[in-house]
Every structure is written in C-alpha cells, then in structure tokens.
Amino acid sequence: MTNSAQHHGLRVVVIGGGATGCAVARDLVMRGFYVTLIEFGDLGSGTSSRFHGMLQSGARYAVSDTDYAAECMVERRVVAGIVPDAVESTGGLFVSLDEDPPEFPERFVEGCRQAGIPCDELDPDRVMAEEPCISRSISRAFSVPDATIDPWRLVNRLAEDIVRRGGRVLTRHQVTGIDVSGGVVRAVRIAGDGGETRIETDAVVSAAGTWSGRVAALAGQNVELEMTKGAIIVLSHRFVGQVVNRCRPPGSHDIIVPTGTVSLFGTTSQVVDNPDTTLVTPAEIQELLDGAEPLVPGIRERRALRAWAGVRPLVKLPDWPLGKPLPRRHLVINHANGGADGFFTVCGGSLTTHRFMAEDVSDHVCRRFGIDETCLTAMIPVSPSPHEATWRPAAGHMTTETMQTQAKTLCECEAVDRAIVTELIEAAGVSRLHDLRRRLRIGFGPCQGTFCAVRAADLLASADRDFPAETSIGQFWTERLKGVSRTAWGDQARQALLSDTVHREILGIRLTGDLLPTDDHR
C-alpha cells in the first residue's frame, strides 16, 4: 500500500464508479482519506461508457464556450500523460462542407487560439486523400489534437490504483440510504449480495452523473439536472483514421470517431426525464443516417453493427437564461446549506474533464475538514508502468499475425487471447460475461459475441462449477441483440438472423426478458 499523504483518520464514501467517481476516490485516497467507492453495477457501466469515445481537445467548444474548451485542452494532455495505455492519439479534423456556415471557420480558429488549442489549416485535397470515406466537398479543413479513450480501461486503471493506495472499491452494491443526523452526514447504507450494510463516514461525495438527483434525494437534498439522451450508431470498420467533426456550431450528428476496431457516429439530442431512458428509436436511426450522409456519403450502404444511447447530465444553473443551451462545465454542490453538512455532489462536465472535476470536489472536502493537501493526480501516473505505450487497438491483431497464435485466440474480431481472459478470471476475480466484455471488448466486433461469448463462458465455468453458463450466454446475446436489432437491414439483418439462429437453434439458448435496454446495453 502506498500513499502520498499521511492518513488523518477521516472517512469518505464516493458514490458512482464511472470516470469521475473513480477519479474522486483516487484523489481523496492520495490526500490521506479512508475511501470507499460504491458502484451499482460494474465500473464504467453508466454514462462513462455511453458516449462517443473522445478525449477531446476542446476545439468542439472553442466558439461556444472558450473557457471550457481551454479546460478540455489542459485535461486532454493530463489524462494522456497519466494513463497513456487507455488513450489513442488519433488526432482530429474539423471540416467545412458546402452547407456549413462560411463565416464559422474564422471564428473557430480564433476560439482555438484563445483557448490554447493547437490548430492548423490543411489542404482539403490532402485531407480527402488521407480520409477517402468522408465527403469530397470539403472547402476548409483544420487539424486539432483530439484523441480517443477506452473508458473501461481508464476506470479499471483508476480502481486498481485506488486499491493499491489503501482504498476500497465495492461494485454491484446499491446505495439505499444516506443517514443525516444533526444536519451532518453520518453513514451510507448499501445493499449487495451479502445483504444490507451501514458504512460510517465523515463525508459523502456523489459522482453519480445522471443519477445524481436520485442519490441526493436519499439525503433529503435536491439536484436539478437537464438530462439529454444521445443516440450513436456503430459502424463495422474504422472508416476514418482521425476524429472528424463538422466545422460548425456544436450540435447533433456531426462527428465520427474511430475507436477500437469500429467507428462511432453521433449523436442525437433529446431532453428526457429519466436517466434510464436509453431505448434507440427507428426515428433516431433515420436522423443519424440523414445527418451522417453529407459527411460520410453512402453510409446507408455501409455495415452498421448496432446502435445505443446514453444520457448526458447537464447542470441547471440558477438564473440561467431560458432557452439558452446549458453549459458543459461542471458544478460542485456543497449540501451543508441544505442541512446535510459533509455531503457533496459533483456533476456536469465530460469524461475529458473528469480528473479536474475530481480535483475540484476533493478541494471542497479538504476545506470542510481544514486539511491542506495538494492535489497530485495530474502529476502521478495512474498506470503501474508510466512509460507504457499508448493504447493501440490493432496491437492484438498484429501480435496474433506475428506470433501465429490464432489457435489461442478467444475473440477473433478483437484478437483477444485466451490467456488474457483466463488471467482476468483467475487473478482479478472477474466472474461475469458482461464484465469480461467491458474490459476486453469481447462481443464488440462483427459477430457481436456469437462465437467468443460461448468460449468465454466455458472458461468462466471451468473456474466456477456453479457458473450459470446457459443463462449468462442468453443474457449476453439478449443485450447484444437489443442494439443489433436497431440497425438490422441488408447484410446486417442476415448476420443478426444467423447469430440468433446459432444461439437459439444450435446452442439451444433462451433469450432473457424483453428487448428493452438495461444497464448493460452498451
């Protein structure tokens, strides 16, 4: 166990195991607190995994919110420096098409300059030669240092560091109550497989994202959010080598992101009143395709693997002008004024700024207890090997081809070696198919887990004789089918039917529940 600060005996419970919650727990444990992180599902199974996968430079907001854009640029560099094995430095492009506002590029360049974002204008012919799948009608193009990030790798690296430093991480536990007595937070009640437990604590930090309102209500507090659902369509290949944005005011369906072995295109935007509203409708699919066509001509003829949606939490600031889009910046709420001293909520922001959000709320916690501890999370690497190369999605395929280890491959689509799966099961204690999927991208490729899920279930059953293999495979395919069915046309419909036949007719697997999305839909 290592710590950068002396323990002072104070306890903090952090609620929410996404990027922000994990970053908060890491920050606080490094400042000497005894920290317990509580997550309802698996790490990163909420909003942190339901986005377009960008570690953004901030250029997207260079015109609309220059201060936030500058914040993103700083954090983009920091995150890539402290957890490089979760980041792929793809670079980014902003391109103007014929229908885009002709005056916007100049405002964009000036906004980038003010925000400190490197921005170079490129020859459109060169851009179209390097990115053959995007529009041939580019009038202006600009490069910016956008990147992509593997959110599950990020949150698991953070969690590993929390535990190394003496913190505790509890997944698949639901917070059922926050006890407040005499206007001060006293304890958190949680329920898990082992029953209900009461954790005594000196402070509580809610980093529950779109569920922040529900968590706050457990302490008799109110947090108002505007929740917007955004749908994304997954294309079967990396059709672009860089993140490609439309050079226009940020809005809907204007970005395509290469991540892993696929491309993500999005997003839509719809205000919802429930954080669990993640069903993608046929109308949203058509909206995405209509919006994508100008940027990626012929996209309807491309193979789409699936579609899914996430809900963004935007903070409703007091006295914010009616009708004006809410800012992306985060907010820390100290609930002491509401009669819950020691309870804090951090919400808003984005995955790119998760570390800075954690620093901000941790500063509030330290001030509450009169503790003077400097935040070191921007300087101390998360990963045990700080010089490890950046994330390379093709690395597994290159290793397989070089070493000729095809016989040892469990997932051909993502080139996942059986030994890596076995290590996660035996050494890390991973015991669920969906948890293997999140960590290794099993089921993300063209077959959507048709072949690798069965192999992974076999390894899980070998490690645990009570593992419910048939039920788990059924749950796994049900969740995959929810996203697949939204994009099932042409060849993809034939593939989906084949995969479904393999599961139902050849394997004799029964689907579980209905085809409405759950927390595992991504």
231 SS3 class:
strand
Q: Which pLDDT score is estimated for 157?
A: 94
CA angle 55, 246, 76 (to 5 degrees): 15
How far the first Cα of the chain sits from its last, in Å, is: 34
Could you tell me if 364 and 345 are in contact, meaning their C-beta atoms sit under 8 angstroms apart? Answer: no
**What residue ranges define each of the domains in the chain, with the CATH number in brackets?**
86-147+227-315 (3.30.9.10), 395-506 (no CATH)
Sign of CA dihedral 422, 54, 21, 165: positive
Tokens 């999605």 locate to: 393
Mean pLDDT over the full length of the chain: 89
The radius of gyration computed from the CA coordinates of the chain, to the nearest angstrom, equals 23
| Global confidence as pTM | 0.89
Give the confidence band of 518 by pLDDT, cuts at 50, 70, 90.
very low
Identify the CA nearest to 245 among candidates 499, 60, 86.
60
Peptide bond into 277 cis (omega under 30): no
In the predicted structure, residue 26 carries a pLDDT above the cut 80 = yes
Neighbouring residues of 440: CB distance < 8 A, sequence distance ≥ 6: 411, 414, 416, 420, 421, 424
Neighbouring residues of 442: CB distance < 8 A, sequence distance ≥ 6: 410, 411, 414, 416, 421, 433, 436, 449, 452, 453, 456
User: What is the phi/psi pair of residue 249, to 5°?
Assistant: -55, 135
How does pLDDT run across 54-96, given as a tens digit for each residue? 999 999 999 999 999 999 999 999 999 999 989 999 999 999 9
Q: Which pLDDT score is estimated for 6?
A: 65
Give the confidence band of 384 by pLDDT, cuts at 50, 70, 90.
low
Euclidean distance between CA atoms 85 and 150, whole angstroms: 9
Question: Per mean pLDDT, which range of 20-29, 168-177, 437-446, 463-472 is the poorest?
Answer: 437-446
Euclidean distance between CA atoms 238 and 329, whole angstroms: 30
Euclidean distance between CA atoms 60 and 245, whole angstroms: 8
Euclidean distance between CA atoms 98 and 106, whole angstroms: 16
Euclidean distance between CA atoms 446 and 415, whole angstroms: 12
